[in-house]
Amino acid sequence: MSTKFLSDIAEDYKQLYDTRENYDVIIYAGEEHNVEEIHAHSLVLRTRSAYFRGALTSDWAMKDKDSGCFIFKKPNISSPIFELVLKFLYCGEVDIHDQEGKTILDLLVASDEFGLMKLIDYVQQYFVENQKNFLQQNPVGTLHIAARHE
């Protein structure tokens, strides 16, 4: 007879997300004057995303010689959006109920770039069901973003 401790594992990953202890990835998210440094763990990123499995290799990512950390630059994704993605990767959670339409749309674009199908499905459904006003008030911007990411 086996016993499952999935809730313990989930809590451990949440704690790892919260503390970022022993990180080995430094992410620079955002552009120009809005760049923020975010710490993460390559094991979690690679395990949860095929995109990061490819991106966090010596062929693609740079490694800092002093720290041994992968250096990963994403100027097209803001720090708050990257944090939402990381919380999904570490904890399987995403809380977008209090977010503005543009933030949710940016999360959808980032999820698509990283190939996170479950997050894409959830965000799309939430967006259509809960952001009708945003879609009606910003049709050109929404279509422009959709066209860039077909």
Residue pair 88/45 in contact by the 8 Å Cβ criterion: no
pLDDT at position 147: 54
Helices within the chain (DSSP H only) = 6-19, 42-48, 50-55, 79-91, 101-113, 117-130, 132-137, 139-148
Is residue 132 classed as helix, strand or coil in its secondary structure? helix
User: 69-83: per-residue pLDDT in tens?
Assistant: 999 999 999 999 999
CA-closest candidate to residue 52, choices 103, 107, 120, 113: 113
pLDDT at position 81: 98
Identify the segments of the chain with pLDDT beneath 50: none
- Residues contacting 129, CB < 8 A, separation 6+: none
pLDDT at position 38: 98
pTM of the model: 0.87
Residue pair 119/111 in contact by the 8 Å Cβ criterion: yes
Instruction: State the CB neighbour count (10 A cutoff) for residue 29.
Output: 24
How far is CA 100 from each of CA 31, 33, 131, rounded to the nearest angstrom?
20, 22, 9
What span, in angstroms and rounded, lies between the C-alpha atoms of 25 and 16?
Answer: 13
User: 31-52: per-residue pLDDT in tens?
Assistant: 989 999 999 999 999 999 999 9
pLDDT at position 20: 94
- Residues contacting 79, CB < 8 A, separation 6+: 29, 30, 34, 35, 36, 38
- Residues contacting 149, CB < 8 A, separation 6+: 109, 112, 113
